[in-house]
Structure formats: structure tokens, C-alpha cells
Amino acid sequence: MQSFRTELENPVVERDIIELEKKIRLYREGKIADEKFRSLRLARGVYGQRQQGVQMVRIKLPYGKMTLAQWKRIANVSDEFSTGNLHLTTRQDVQIHFVSLDRTPELWSKLDQDDITIREACGNTVRNITASDKAGIDPEEPFDVTPYADAAFRYFLRNPVCQDMGRKFKIAFSSSDADTAWTFMHDLGVIPKIQDVNGVPTRGFKVMVGGGLGAQPYLAKVAFEFLEADLLIPYIENVLRVFDRYGERSSRHKARMKFLIQKIGMEEFVRLVHEEHLALKSKRYPVDTAAWPETEAPKGMPGAAYSIKDPVKYEAWKRSNVFQQKQAAYLAAYVKVPLGNISSDESRLLIGKLHGVIADDVRVTANQGLLLKYILPANLPYVYSVLEEVGYATPGFDSVSDITACPGTDTCNLAISSSTGIAAALEQVIEEEYPELVFNKDIKIKISGCMNSCGQHGIASIGFHGSSLKSSGKVLPALQVLLGGGILGNGEGRVADKVIKVPSKRGPDVLRALLDDYSNNAAADEKFNDYYDRRTEKYFYELLKPLADLQALTDEDFVDWGQAENYATAIGVGECAGVVIDLVATLLYEVEEKLELGMEAIGNKQYADGIYHAYAVFVQSAKALLLGEGVACNTQIGIINDFEKHLVATGRFDAAEFKDQVLQINTHEPSEAFAKQYYQQAQAFYKQAQAFREANAGAPAVLK
């Protein structure tokens, strides 16, 4: 691969990019194993696609915010390195596909010129921190959560406590009790509250922990009804430290936060979190909201002439896509982006024509659309005319007709059947047969290509996920139908029930059956989920059962949406977890990197970071030796216990009170003195581990 010269002002980012280039070169030279390299690139936003030899690059946009310059930069980068398509995701990221691995460092350097990162967009890290797209303009919000979401993003980016956890960790900030960021389905979610503390109105958050979707959904538990705002980031760090130390690492399907809390119980989880508190670098972390920059609201009128081609559609768009901000003089408008895909050319047209008429703050929404802010009422017709010209003036944002879908078999390794194809077919059914539902925002339809719920089918009123069925020895694409999920508010939600599985090509008939039954039989003003509860799951199973009959299949049923050939399952290896193969040599190489990082942190007076790097030296050195002895390794606390049991207690390794030495991390403030002492102990342990390995090289594994 060719090297390139970075021209970045940020030395931290430049170092990241040079490091990525170095890792790619070592991988190409066969010096880094495939699985280890996978974890390295995932933590840098580079994700393998279904198609061999190309990558998906995930661009991390905290709380979904893009300036117009950043949006244009992403569009230009997509043209240069990808296909000219921008895919908006349910976690408010932007993804570009079909990128050459060797060009990813250069791509990152181009993005950074407008302060855009791909760092920790994938892998076993804190993923993109999401927030209600209305944050800052929501008429119902107690206060703007955006500064807090931004502070959390910056605090945990590159933070040693969350660089190589057992699995990913997702955080969401809702702007109000409406909970439009879905805190109940996140590892950690917060909702803003104001409460009197000693007679003073004080900002804080309701805090939810342990939620998640995937194949086994769990609703989050309440950690605090009210936690003062200054304590939020320290609490999140506490939780991450517990998750890092006690979370599952062998079985990726059991490695999320929700499973840790289910395993040890909430009471023990709270105790462990409290145990980490002394070691925190900050016991309180105030966010200076007074210094948060005010959004500059455009005040001028568009200079160009314009006209609206379809006034009737414009009125429908205003009714369904536009709302008044809490800033009474301004409106905000949602843009429906079908399947979250918008081209670079379309992006640049919108940027050019809307510059100066909307705020320099566009939000990617959690249902794969866009939010344009601070529009003067007099400018709204012009904004619509621009959207109409470019093809994004469709009414019905976040309605029944606005279906969320992951990319599915288009690009994802894990997808079982098409999600984008069936989504387009269902939207066509609604547009042509149920046009009145463009204003219905009660029913949400969400589709995933597999059970992992990237399309959030698990919290949909009507959800589908990709599956397969067999008939007469042949496999056909199928859809699992789920019903009854949704938001209740204030941190509470509903997980959808799995009702029945049907051939994929019958998805439109499933939708017709559900909508017709609801229209004909629901009481006046009865919400869909209330109707579902009244009728019960069994009723809907019987309603849809004829569509699951495999006795009258046609040739078309064996062809997936958007395909020409007969269906065949082709599921690859998923990369969402950034699984690491535990190679002893690679682990010890990583230990050397941790020692360098620890020394650097202490030299920069970042004592808490230096201590955590030293802790990683202890754990990974111990893990390497255990693996060399044939001992399976799982949680970090398990590694510490197993090292004492198999190597220290048997007298094979001289490290008295090893566990107490390692867990000093929780019994000391992160002072300079302790940081230096702990680092020296970790360094000495690593040297001893290296000597042990050399002395036992080639020895058979004797431990079980």
C-alpha cells in the first residue's frame, strides 16, 4: 500500500491515522492475525462488508449533528472513496460503502479537516452517543441535553476504560419524557429532569441501565430517578469500569450489559459500581452550559426565485413534517429520506440552496431522516420548493409510511433476507392503498435483515426481521412478524411479540391484513397497541395464519425482494462485536503498547488514564500466560482469579497477593504517587511474565 502524508492540525487524530496505516501495513505483511486486525479496524470505524475486499466506513456524528460544511465534506469523501451514496443510520451515523481498506487512513484524514471522526464508530467501544433530534428546540424539554451529550462523547472518546470491552456500549439522551431517543433500549439512557435540591432548582437526569434489543430484548432498569447533572459522566465511567471488568468476553451473544445485570442482579451491580468510585479521575464533572454556543439563526430571505409545483402536497408536508420550535419565531422541518439513502449530488444541491436559510446544524434522525432547524415562517415555502426540486419533499415523516430498515443483504454479513426491498414494497402499499395514513404517527413499521434488530423491529408497532423457511427441501426467504412494541414514555417501553413467520413475498399482504383489521375493528381513537392488547397475540396469529401456509407456494416465493435468482442463505461472520482471537504473542505485543500509553499518560499528568493502562498490562499479561497454559479466559475478574488459582497458588509463578495488587486500582485515588507506583508494578509483572513464557516455551499445556 502507498503511504500518504497527513496535514492535520490535531496531533491526536494524526497519530490515530498514522497508527491505522501502520496496522494495515503489518496486516498486509502477515504480521497481525485476521481476527486481531478486525478488532483494530473496527475500533477505527472500518467494518467488513458482505462483499469481499471492500469495507463499510461508519462516520461518527455525536447526537446526529452535521454542520453544512461537514455534510458537504462527507458527500465529497463519498465521491472520492466510495459510491457517492450516504446512508443515514438509526444511530444517527452516516455510513459509506465499498471503500478500499488501504485508502481508509487517507479517507479519515480528509474527514478530519472538518472535525469529523470515525474513531470508535464500531467495535467493543462506546458507540455513537445518540440524542433526540429535537434537543435544543424541543418545546417539551426541561433543558437542552445537547451540551451533556457532547461532553460525554468527548470524555469517552479514546478513554482507556472503554477501548476494548467485551462488547459495544450504547448511550442515549432523550430531550423530554416523550423519550424519543428510546432510553429504555440502551445500555445507558438518560432523560432530563429539574428537581429542587436544598431549595434550589437543579438539573439532573433519570438514568436507565441495561436495556437492549438484539435477538433477546431487555427493557432497561432504573438506576436513578434523579441524578444531578454534574454526577452523570462520573457515573457513566463507573458503569463502564464495571462492564469492562466483569462483562462476558467469550460468548459474544452474552456479552452485552443487559446480560451482566441479568446475571449478577441489580443490587450487586450497584455495589460494584460504587466500588469503582474512589478511582475516578473526576468525582463531579460540571458541564459549562453557559459557554455552549447559541445556534445562529438565519434572518435573511432567499435571494433566488422559486415556485411550488404541488400546493396540495405542500400543505400535507407542512402538517406532517413541520413543527414550531420552542424558539417561538422559528419552525423546524423533517426530511423523509427513503431507506436513509441520499446521494452526494443531492446533498450538495440541498446544502447550496439552503445555506443561509436554515441553521448550520442539521441533525440525522434516529429513523434515518434529517431535521432542518431555525426556519423563518416566511422562508418555509422556499425550503419546501428546494426539497421538492431535489426530490425530498415527501409528507409523512415518522408516520406509518416512513419505514425504518437496515441495509440487510445489500451489504451486511449477518443479514438473512432483504430488508430494503420489502421496505420499499410496503411503503408503496401504504402510498397507493392507504394514503390517509401519511398523518398517522401512532403506528411505526421497522424492518431488520436478521434478528439482531439494527432496524429496531423489536420496538415496532409492526416489525419484521429477515428469516428463512423450508418447503419440500427448498429454502425460501421469510419474515418474522412482530407486533406491539413502542415507547410508553419516561424511560418505559414495550418489546414487540413474535407472532408468526411468513414467506417474504407475502409481507405486503401481512400489512394489508393488519391495517384493514385495525381500521375495521378498532374503537374510535383506539391506539394500535391498545387494540393489539385487547385482541391479544393469539387473535393476530390466527388472522395471519393463512399467509403462513406453505402449501400454495409459487416460484416467486423462492426469490427474495430485489433479486433475480432463487434465494439461498449466505450468512457471513458478524463484526458488530469486534471479536478478538486470543493469540498469546499478539496479547503480549498489545501489553507493550499499553505500557507506552501508560508512560505517556503519566508524563502528561493524566494519572487516572495511566493507571487504567497499567491495569490492562496486568490483565492482558495474565491472560496471555493462562492461554499458553490451556486455561480458557473470560471476564477480566475471572482472569485475575484464574491466574491466582492456576499459576500463583500452585507455586509456578511468584506473585504473592496478585489479585490484591491488581485491584489496588479501586482502593486509591488516582494520584501521581499511586500512578507511578502502580505502573512500575505492572511493568515488573510484564517482565516477569515474559521470562515465564520464555522459560516455558514449547512446554505442553498442563492445566484444565
Domain-by-domain residue ranges, the chain?
A: 11-112, 130-288, 311-390, 404-558, 584-695
pLDDT at 701 (0 to 100): 38
Cell numbers 482502593 correspond to what residue? Answer: 667
pLDDT at 497 (0 to 100): 96
Question: Using alpha carbons only, how large is the chain's radius of gyration in Å?
Answer: 26
pLDDT at 571 (0 to 100): 52
- Residue predicted with more confidence, 304 or 321: 321
Per-residue pLDDT averaged across 104-123, rounded? 94
By mean pLDDT, which of 24-38, 462-476, 525-539 is the weakest? 24-38
Cell of 356: 443561509
The span from the CA of 612 to the CA of 211, in Å, is 26
Burial of 76 (0-12, 13-18, 19+ CB in 10 A): middle
For the chain, the distance separating the N- and C-terminal CA atoms, rounded to the nearest angstrom, is 43
The span from the CA of 684 to the CA of 688, in Å, is 6
Query: In sequence order, what are the residues at sequence separation of 6 or more whose Cβ sits closer than 8 angstroms to the Cβ of residue 276?
Result: 237, 238, 241, 242, 666
The span from the CA of 5 to the CA of 109, in Å, is 9
At residue 570 the predicted structure's pLDDT band, cuts being 50, 70 and 90, is: low
Task: Locate the DSSP E strands across 417-505.
Answer: 445-448, 462-471, 474-483, 486-489, 492-494, 497-503
Return the DSSP state at 443. Answer: -
pTM of the model as a whole: 0.92
pLDDT at 581 (0 to 100): 37
pLDDT at 636 (0 to 100): 96
The span from the CA of 645 to the CA of 64, in Å, is 48
Torsions phi, psi for 130 (to 5 deg): -95, 165
Task: Let me know: does 501 contact 417? Beta carbons within 8 Å.
Answer: no
Sign of the four-CA dihedral 574, 575, 579, 580: positive
The span from the CA of 345 to the CA of 350, in Å, is 9
pLDDT at 2 (0 to 100): 46
pLDDT at 326 (0 to 100): 97
| Most confident stretch, 205-209, 306-310, 696-700 | 205-209
Amino acid at 232: L
Residue 161 in this model has a pLDDT that exceeds 50 = yes
Residue 588 in this model has a pLDDT that exceeds 70 = yes
The span from the CA of 291 to the CA of 596, in Å, is 35
pLDDT at 186 (0 to 100): 97
For the chain, the 3-state helix, strand and coil shares in percent, each to the nearest 5, are 45, 15, 40
DSSP 311-329: HHHHHHHHHHHEEE-SSTT
Task: Let me know: does 336 contact 392? Beta carbons within 8 Å.
Answer: yes
Task: Let me know: does 464 contact 427? Beta carbons within 8 Å.
Answer: no
Q: Residue 359: name the closest of 91, 133, 87 by CA.
A: 133
Of all residues in the chain, what percent carry a pLDDT higher than 90?
77
Q: What three-state secondary structure class fits 493?
A: strand
pLDDT digits (tens, 9 = 90+) for 589-620: 789 989 999 999 999 999 999 999 999 999 99
Per-residue pLDDT averaged across 544-571, rounded? 86
pLDDT at 698 (0 to 100): 53
Task: Let me know: does 618 contact 685? Beta carbons within 8 Å.
Answer: yes
The CATH class for the domain spanning 404-558 reads alpha beta
Q: How far is CA 582 from CA 36, 168, 517, in A?
A: 8, 18, 54
The CATH class for the domain spanning 130-288 reads alpha beta
Residue 23 in this model has a pLDDT that exceeds 80 = yes
By mean pLDDT, which of 265-274, 290-299, 484-493 is the weakest? 290-299
Residue 703 in this model has a pLDDT that exceeds 60 = no
Report the DSSP beta bridge partners of residue 466: 479
Per-residue pLDDT averaged across 171-198, rounded? 97
Cell numbers 426530511 correspond to what residue? Answer: 335
Torsions phi, psi for 193 (to 5 deg): -140, 155
Residue 624 in this model has a pLDDT that exceeds 60 = yes
For the domain 311-390, what is the CATH superfamily, name and number? Answer: Sulfite Reductase Hemoprotein;Domain 2 (3.90.480.10)
Strand pairing of 322-324 and 55-59?
unpaired
CA angle 413, 583, 619 (to 5 degrees): 110
Task: Let me know: does 392 contact 337? Beta carbons within 8 Å.
Answer: yes
DSSP 661-684: HHGGGGTS---HHHHHHHHHHHHH
The fold for domain 11-112 equals Sulfite Reductase Hemoprotein; domain 2 (3.90.480)
Q: What three-state secondary structure class fits 26?
A: helix
Q: How far is CA 482 from CA 420, 461, 501, 517, in A?
A: 17, 8, 9, 16
Residue 356 in this model has a pLDDT that exceeds 90 = yes
Q: Residue 262: name the closest of 206, 213, 207, 219 by CA.
A: 219
Architecture of the domain whose range is 584-695: Up-down Bundle (1.20)
At residue 583 the predicted structure's pLDDT band, cuts being 50, 70 and 90, is: low
Per-residue pLDDT averaged across 310-331, rounded? 97
The span from the CA of 485 to the CA of 464, in Å, is 12
190: number of Cβ within 10 Å: 31
Task: Let me know: does 51 contact 415? Beta carbons within 8 Å.
Answer: no
DSSP count for the chain of H helices, then E strands: 19, 22
Task: Let me know: does 195 contact 202? Beta carbons within 8 Å.
Answer: yes
Cell of 380: 418555509
Residue 696 in this model has a pLDDT that exceeds 70 = yes
Q: How far is CA 365 from CA 449, 485, 590, 655, in A?
A: 20, 19, 38, 53
Same CATH topology for 404-558 and 584-695?
no
Amino acid at 81: F
The H-assigned helical ranges of 507-559 are 507-521, 528-544
- Residue predicted with more confidence, 409 or 695: 695
The span from the CA of 114 to the CA of 71, in Å, is 9
Return the DSSP state at 49. Answer: -
Report the DSSP beta bridge partners of residue 468: 477
